[in-house]
Amino acid sequence: MVTVARRCSHAALPCPPLLLRTAGAELANLCREAALGAVREDEEGAREVAARHFAGAQALAVPALTPKLLAEYEAWGARRR
């Protein structure tokens, strides 16, 4: 079983530009892919998901939010304020 440390802070984890406008489901997939990367690296002894695993997962990520869709969401949010 691979566990992710819970004692991280937002300051300790800068958000890469690719993730600034990423849907929640995409973030969940990124975390799963990073965990799988840790297991692929060491099937028997994987103990943590490190930054290198997230970097590898991020390299495979394809954002689902298009600029047009993102603009629509931002417009919708502005109307709700």
* Domains, in order of start, for the chain: 10-80 (1.10.8.60)
What would the pLDDT profile of 46-75 be if each residue is shown by its tens digit? Answer: 888 888 998 899 888 877 778 898 889 889
Gyration radius (Cα) of the chain, Å: 16
Give percent of the chain above pLDDT 70: 74
**What's the confidence (pLDDT) of residue 13?**
54
Distance CA 47, CA 14 (A): 22
Inform me whether the pLDDT recorded for 10 exceeds 50: no
User: DSSP of the chain, one letter per residue?
Assistant: --B--S---GGGSPPPGGGTT--HHHHHHHHHHHHHHHHHH-TTT--B--HHHHHHHHHH------HHHHHHHHHHHHHH-
**What's the confidence (pLDDT) of residue 9?**
45
**What's the confidence (pLDDT) of residue 37?**
93
